[in-house]
Amino acid sequence: MPNSPITAADTVARLIVRNATPADVPAIRALFERAYDGAKVSSYSAAMIRGQINKFPEGQFVAEADGKLIGFCSSFVIAGQLALKPHDWTWITGGGYASRHDPNGDYLYGMEVCVDPDYRGLRIGQRLYDERKKLAWSWALKGIIYGGRLPSLKAALTRADHPYPTPEAYVAAVEEGREKDPVLTFQLRNDFKVIGLMPNYWPEDGQSMGYGVHLLWRNPQAPDEKEEARQKNYGGRLMDVVRVATVQYQQRRVKSFDEFVGMLRYFVDVTSDYRSDFCVFPELFSLQLLSMEDQELSPQEAIEALTRWTDPIKDALRDMAVRYNINIIGGSHPTMMPSGRVENICYVCLRDGNIHEQAKLHPTPNEVYWWNIEGGHELAAIDTDCGPIGVLICYDAEFPELARHLADQGANIIFVPFCTDERQSYLRVRYCCHARAVENQCYVVMSGNCGNLPNVANMDIQYAQSCILTPCDFPFARDGIAADTTPNVETVAFADLRLEALREARYEGTVQNLKDRRHDLYTTVWRER
């Protein structure tokens, strides 16, 4: 008798199932490549996976075998009145970002299950489904709803002998045990019941001819009253209150880099003493280093000279973040890229020692003309110990799709370092930032420069009124302003931001912008680089 081939599943020494984290995103996408032969990866982006994890971390699971990620399962909570109606995958999932997640919903929605083909002998799918059921029990939900694939449907309807006349006839045969479908048969064994068929559920799924089978599992332990259980089990990594400090920073001449760092350290020390979670500096706050130059430089020469300070600035901000136990949004600094491009980059230095980068995507015509600054290409939410955040540098806040992209990835606070020369310029950024707070039901924190830098080209005068903005609804400050500063005066503004208030506004507010979007009419597609 010939030996059976040895598969990866035969060599596993340790297998665990745990909640997914943002660090798992690259491995999850690699898993999709293996499981779907690359077919689904083109439309299932890293940003979508980050959004799923950040919106509902308890509902995303991965399976690991000897440290290798071999299974992924995503889900979110939703109202049954939405999920029990016919729908398609894009609409129900909010374009793949789990944007319809509603902590006050009564059903769990199964968004995705994916298993490495080399490990399919280990019942990974069963383990992931069991985790979903445990989650439904712990949240006291009524059950689980799912749109399942029918990978044998096309073959069954087109085979030469005894083809099924309709998809409904094929599903009925599987329910009665006369046919076996790799997915539906498994789901029926897990006590799911067929509600119906949904055409065009996932049009790209050729094997299923675009159909999804509408499935329901009822939780036998669901109580009539679930509020107590939800309060007990509602989790997540979000803190109840996040204290932010925005620094309205005065530009002035400095004689040395140490003097510049000493000014930054003063504000980090002060905001840390006030037990702030974030200290925010303005865009291009490092331009005052040009005041040290003895010779007159052209604007492009000046910016290139400034890029030499990139590593020392990053090292100083990281040291202060760790030393003072505070997350620092490092304004922005012109940075020379390996390709020779100059980009305007915000360095986010977390108090655990990690540094994240967010480039300005849209340099202003002024920046392009005077400094030859070019725009970056990626926009991602950044996971912190206070939940996911985003950064939009000045002009980027004037593009609504950018803030929406961050909100779709789970960002609750968007930081906007800015640099404007006069009041009209400032108000463009200010009004747009408040619109972004309303549109995305999130907090927006602005930090700008004041003061003057004579003899520094294109940085002569500044106008700023830094502020901390909120959505406009009952849980927030009357005018949607949590805190602001006196214009053009060096100072710090503080505010305590309740993340629970955002959840209340998003799911129970007077208006519910994120929840009420018409995903059936429009969507924004981001390119993965």
Q: Which residues are known catalytic residues?
A: 283, 360, 394
Angle, in degrees to the nearest 10, between helices 46-55 and 400-408: 60
Nearest of 307, 333, 317 to residue 267 by alpha carbon: 317
Alpha-carbon Rg for the chain, nearest whole angstrom, is 26
Residue 402 sits at the vertex; the CA angle it makes with 505 and 480, to the nearest 5 degrees, is: 35
Q: How far apart are CA 184 and CA 176, in angstroms?
A: 12
Which of helix, strand or coil describes residue 117? helix
The position carrying tokens 């006839």 is: 169
- Tell me how far the alpha carbon of residue 492 is from its chain's centroid: 28
Q: How far apart are CA 494 and CA 247, in angstroms?
A: 9
DSSP state string for 361-384: SS--HHHHHHH-EE-------EEE
CB neighbours of 206 closer than 8 A, spacing ≥ 6? 154
CB neighbours of 283 closer than 8 A, spacing ≥ 6? 331, 332, 344, 346, 360, 393, 394, 417, 418, 419, 448, 449
The DSSP bridge pattern shows strands 212-218 and 143-148 to be antiparallel
Tokens of 116: 């490495």
Query: Residue 242: beta bridge partners?
Result: 497
Residue 522 neighbours by CB distance under 10 Å:
8
